[in-house]
């Protein structure tokens, strides 16, 4: 159960730093945009919610902001961050890799790579492992080609110089999503593809799962029947300031793609619940470094299904 401190203060306390300095430092370093601009307070709230939910350290680049084409930001988790949340999961019991015997060289690549990689994650609570195969031709990114004053040029990236490593990272990330239902977070490669498509992700989230991708829209339709239950869960979490309990409840109730959908739904609703009033509260924390950091908000409580007959079910 969390205390009644604000989001910024809770995370700053974890690192033993002043909330004002913490917020300003994040804006100027870990969450700073490539053009030198700082994210808005609303965008900062989105990033901090994800960082708190997955216990990610922004100062070591486990999570950072990636700009899209609509002046928004995408929360990106580096491979070290993915490794952290995988190893921190209580049911994680190891990972193995199987490589294709066939070696191929993609256009622009400097080295050969297996045609596919299969990641295998073991869970302590499952009798069978989760196996996900990623194919190189589906995830490979060709080198960037452009035209300058001196003519055309080519810029190589990690997919050209470290093809096998990049493919392995893809296998780890996709397998962990299926195995543990991680949702609402992306790797940099995915963020770059989202930017290329012009999608806006989690800048001003709504209570439904939005986005321009076919997979996101398909997920919204497929799990639409979960919305009434998730709506009630989100309303309860907002009323009691009990978002951590809401995430925990969804992790216990849902699995796989359903859990990913539920996580995104709750993340969107939590950002929406913060709203202008909480952004103003965070501004007060930033502007007044000597004031009492205990912002008066309802104290987070644990869910009590047997007391409130939550979702109309008996407490298991």
Under the banding of pLDDT at 50, 70 and 90, the label for residue 129 is very high
Between 101-110, 140-149, 238-247, the lowest mean confidence (pLDDT) is in: 238-247
Under the banding of pLDDT at 50, 70 and 90, the label for residue 56 is very high
Average pLDDT of span 209-223: 45
Q: Compare 140 and 154 and report the one with higher pLDDT.
A: 140
Under the banding of pLDDT at 50, 70 and 90, the label for residue 183 is confident
Q: How many CA atoms lie within 13 A of 187 on its CB side?
A: 19
pLDDT value at residue 67 = 72
Instruction: Judge residue 294's burial from the number of C-beta atoms within 10 Å of its C-beta, 0-12 exposed, 13-18 middle, 19 or more buried.
Output: exposed
Distance of CA 64 to the CA centre of its chain: 10
Q: Is 188 helix (H, G, I), strand (E, B) or coil?
A: helix
How many CB atoms lie under 10 A from the CB of residue 41?
A: 18
Question: Is the pLDDT at 225 greater than 60, yes or no?
Answer: yes
Question: Is the pLDDT at 111 greater than 90, yes or no?
Answer: yes
Average pLDDT of span 215-241: 68
Q: Compare 124 and 153 and report the one with higher pLDDT.
A: 124
- Where is mean pLDDT largest: 7-16, 52-61, 127-136, 258-267? 127-136
Question: Is the pLDDT at 294 greater than 70, yes or no?
Answer: no
C-alpha angle 199/76/71, rounded to 5°?
A: 40
Q: How many CA atoms lie within 13 A of 74 on its CB side?
A: 27
Question: Is the pLDDT at 213 greater than 90, yes or no?
Answer: no
Lookup: tokens for 59: 């100062």
Percentage of the chain modeled with pLDDT above 70:
71
pLDDT value at residue 89 = 94
Q: How far apart are CA 109 and CA 135, in angstroms?
A: 15
Q: Is 309 helix (H, G, I), strand (E, B) or coil?
A: coil
Average pLDDT of span 258-263: 77
Average model confidence (pLDDT) for the chain?
76
Q: pTM for this one?
A: 0.62
pLDDT value at residue 196 = 64
Between 96-105, 125-134, 156-165, 239-248, the lowest mean confidence (pLDDT) is in: 239-248
Under the banding of pLDDT at 50, 70 and 90, the label for residue 202 is very low
pLDDT value at residue 195 = 66
**249 near 308, Cβ under 8 Å?**
no
Under the banding of pLDDT at 50, 70 and 90, the label for residue 197 is low
pLDDT tens by residue, 5-41: 688 888 888 888 888 888 888 888 878 776 677 788 8
C-alpha angle 170/173/174, rounded to 5°?
A: 85
- Where is mean pLDDT largest: 33-42, 122-131, 185-194? 122-131
Distance of CA 24 to the CA centre of its chain: 22
Under the banding of pLDDT at 50, 70 and 90, the label for residue 271 is confident
C-alpha angle 31/33/39, rounded to 5°?
A: 60
For CA atoms 34, 37, 41, 42, the dihedral sign is negative
- Where is mean pLDDT largest: 11-15, 219-223, 290-294? 11-15
Q: Compare 60 and 149 and report the one with higher pLDDT.
A: 60
pLDDT value at residue 121 = 97
pLDDT value at residue 176 = 94
Give the start-to-end residue ranges of the domains of the chain.
Answer: 79-186
């Amino acid at each position: 159960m969390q205390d009644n401190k604000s989001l910024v203060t809770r995370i700053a306390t974890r690192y033993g730093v002043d909330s004002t300095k913490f917020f300003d430092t994040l804006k100027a370093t870990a969450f700073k945009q490539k053009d030198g601009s700082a994210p808005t307070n609303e965008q900062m709230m989105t990033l901090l919610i994800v960082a708190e939910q997955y216990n990610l350290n922004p100062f070591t680049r486990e999570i950072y902001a990636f700009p899209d084409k609509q002046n928004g930001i995408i929360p990106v988790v580096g491979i070290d961050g993915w490794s952290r949340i995988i190893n921190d999961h209580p049911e994680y019991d190891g990972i193995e890799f199987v490589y294709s015997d066939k070696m191929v060289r993609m256009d622009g690549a400097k080295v050969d790579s297996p045609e596919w990689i299969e990641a295998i994650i073991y869970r302590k609570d499952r009798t069978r492992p989760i196996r996900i195969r990623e194919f190189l031709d589906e995830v490979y990114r060709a080198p960037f080609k452009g035209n300058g004053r001196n003519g055309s040029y080519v810029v190589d990236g990690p997919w050209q110089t470290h093809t096998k490593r990049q493919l392995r990272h893809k296998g780890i990330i996709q397998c962990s999503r299926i195995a543990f239902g991680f949702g609402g977070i992306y790797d940099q490669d995915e963020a770059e593809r989202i930017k290329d498509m012009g999608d806006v992700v989690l800048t001003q989230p709504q209570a439904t799962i939005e986005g321009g991708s076919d997979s996101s829209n398909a997920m919204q339709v497929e799990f639409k029947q979960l919305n009434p239950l998730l709506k009630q869960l989100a309303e309860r979490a907002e009323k009691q300031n009990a978002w951590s309990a809401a995430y925990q409840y969804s992790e216990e109730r849902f699995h796989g793609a359903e859990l990913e959908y539920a996580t995104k739904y709750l993340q969107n609703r939590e950002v929406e619940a913060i709203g202008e009033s909480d952004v103003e509260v965070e501004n007060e924390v930033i502007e007044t470094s000597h004031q009492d950091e205990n912002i008066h908000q309802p104290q987070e409580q644990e869910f009590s299904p047997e007391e409130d007959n939550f979702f109309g079910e008996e407490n298991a």
